[in-house]
Amino acid sequence: MPNRPANFHGLHIRKWYAFEEETLALETGRLADGEPLLKLVIAAAIDNPHAGAFVESFEEVIAQSAYLGEAFAQRLQARLDGRAVQSYGKAALVGVNCEYEHGNAFLTTTFAEPVRAAVGGGMSWVPSSGKRGGPGTAIDIPLAHKDALYVRSHYDTVSVTFTDSPGPDEVVIAVAVATRGRLHARLGGLRHAEIVGQDGLH
């Protein structure tokens, strides 16, 4: 792997990304039942220090990911501009010289805690996905309610592509948030207004 200079707490970040979409109506044309659905994705293309290698321990990357989580948190808050978040998710897209596990190492609780704080805390685990591929590979980031996984209306996905990432030795780390559940969700179950918020499920 090329020896690229560190520019972020021992990591080399080549590029930051931000994507936003706002849904005003259903595919069938029915207008939103309340506020539009805003989805926001923040991502970074990062040199993978373990590209091309098998390693037993990811302690260094996990420690560095705490700073990465703080940077994601700051960028999320800036883009949200005070708008409340109801659901979240995360993903890793790794280059062809990388293991899927290399990407997961960036997404542990150490990374996620600052993100949780940025969206007002979260009782539930942050759903995650990942895959291996080259530049332009699409990644589906799962979304679920940040305080109660059993809220069906908030099971959702946001799909993104990065036209020039990941490079063979890179990982792209992404976080997605949404301001509400699906428009006109009508499959029953626990509602957002009924959340108890004690165990991350209800």
How far is it, in rounded angstroms, from Cα 83 to Cα 77? Answer: 9
Predicted confidence (pLDDT) per residue in 151-193, tens digit: 999 999 999 999 999 999 999 999 999 999 999 999 998 888 8
Q: Please compute the mean of the pLDDT values over residues 54-71 and round it to a whole number.
A: 96
In this prediction, residue 198 carries a pLDDT of 75
H or E element, residue 62: helix 59-80
Q: How much is the pLDDT for 112?
A: 95
Which residue pairs, CB below 8 angstroms and at least 24 apart, start in 17-22? 17/41, 17/42, 17/43, 17/44, 17/45, 17/160, 17/162, 17/165, 17/172, 17/174, 18/42, 18/43, 18/75, 18/79, 19/43, 19/160, 20/79, 21/158
Encoded tokens for 86: 């109801």
Predicted structure pTM score: 0.94
At residue 42, does pLDDT exceed 80? yes
CA 102 to each of CA 3, 56, 117, 156, 198: distance values in angstroms, whole numbers, following the listed order: 18, 11, 25, 25, 32
Give me the pLDDT at residue 44, please.
98
Does position 2 have pLDDT exceeding 70, yes or no? no
Q: Give all domains of the chain, ordered by start, each with its CATH number.
A: 13-194 (3.30.1330.110)
Q: Binning pLDDT at 50, 70 and 90, where does residue 6 land?
A: very high
